Copies of this chain bind each other. A is one copy, B any other.
Amino acid sequence: MASKMQLKSVSRLPPGERSAEILTAARVVIAERGYEATSMLAIAQHAGVAEGTLYRFFKTKEELMLRVAEDWLQALLAEDLGLESIRGTWNRLRHLIWRVLHLMRTQPAVSRFVLIEMRPLPTYRSTSLFTLTRRFTADVRMVCAEAVKSGEFRNDVSPSLLRDMIFGCIEHQTWSFLRREGDFKIDEVADSIANVVFRGMAAEPVARDDRLERALERLEKAAAQMERASQRL
C-alpha cells in the first residue's frame, strides 16, 4: 500500500537535538494539558515533526512521557546545591523542605506532571523516575537518621516515617497551587514543618521548664531533712 509521499524538508538535526526538541515540545504540551490529554500527534505537531519521528526515539508513549519527567527532574536536581554548607539538624531540614517548595513554586508543571500524573501509573515504582524522586527525599531521611544516631533525635520514630510526614505535608500544602487554584507561603510552610518535626523528635526539650523538677527537689530535700530529724529524735 505504499503511497506517493512528498517528504517535507525538515533539516536533519545533529543526533540528540531532535530528541531534545521532542522532549521540549512534549513538556510544553504536557504542561498545558496533562498526561492523559496529551496525544502523540499533538507532541509531534508542537515539535514540528511527524508522528513517526517520535517513535524513532521513544518506543511508546509511556516511555516518552517518562523521559520527559526524568529529564525535567534531572535538570532541576542538577541546579541543586549540596547540604555540606549547612550546619544543624533544624537548619538542614528546613533547607531541604524549602528547596522542594521552591521547586514546586517555580516549576509547577513538572511537579504536577510527576506527582499527580506519573505517580499513579501502575509501573511507576519500577521506573527510573521513581528512583530519581527518591533522590529528593533521601536527603531528608538521611538527616533524620543522622540526628537519631547522634542522639539529637529520639529513636522511637523511623526516619522513613518522618520523610513521609514531611513530603506528604508538602504535597498537601501545595496541592491546590499545583492545580492552579490556590497558593502557599514558602517560608511559613517550611518553618512550620521543620519546627513540628524537630521539636517532635528532639531528645532534650528545647526550652526547659524545671519548675516541677525544682519543686520535687525541694520536696525531696525537705523530706530527707525531716527523716533525718525524726531519726535524731
Copies in the complex: 4
A223: B residues at CB distance < 8 A: 221-223, 225-226, 229
Q: Contact between B193 and A165 (Cβ–Cβ < 8 Å)?
A: yes
Q: Contact between B218 and A215 (Cβ–Cβ < 8 Å)?
A: no
Q: Contact between A1 and B181 (Cβ–Cβ < 8 Å)?
A: no
A226: B residues at CB distance < 8 A: 223, 225-227, 229-230
A187 at the interface (CB under 8 A from B): no
A233: B residues at CB distance < 8 A: 230, 232-233
A195 at the interface (CB under 8 A from B): yes
A12 at the interface (CB under 8 A from B): no
Q: Contact between A172 and B167 (Cβ–Cβ < 8 Å)?
A: yes
A229: B residues at CB distance < 8 A: 223, 226-227, 229-231
Give the CA-CA distance A136 to B198 in the complex, in Å. 26
Most buried by B among A37, A181, A216: A216
Q: Contact between A168 and B158 (Cβ–Cβ < 8 Å)?
A: no
Q: Contact between B189 and A161 (Cβ–Cβ < 8 Å)?
A: yes
In the complex, the chain B residue whose C-beta lies closest to that of A207 is: B205
Q: Contact between A34 and B122 (Cβ–Cβ < 8 Å)?
A: yes
A183 at the interface (CB under 8 A from B): no
A173 at the interface (CB under 8 A from B): yes
Which of B34, B169, B215 is in CB contact (< 8 Å) with A212? B215
A149 at the interface (CB under 8 A from B): no
A228 at the interface (CB under 8 A from B): yes
Give the CA-CA distance A120 to B37 in the complex, in Å. 13
| A interface residue numbers (CB < 8 A to B) | 1-2, 34, 37, 60, 116-117, 120, 122, 124-125, 154, 156-158, 161-173, 176, 179, 181, 189, 191-193, 195-202, 204-209, 211-212, 215-216, 218-233
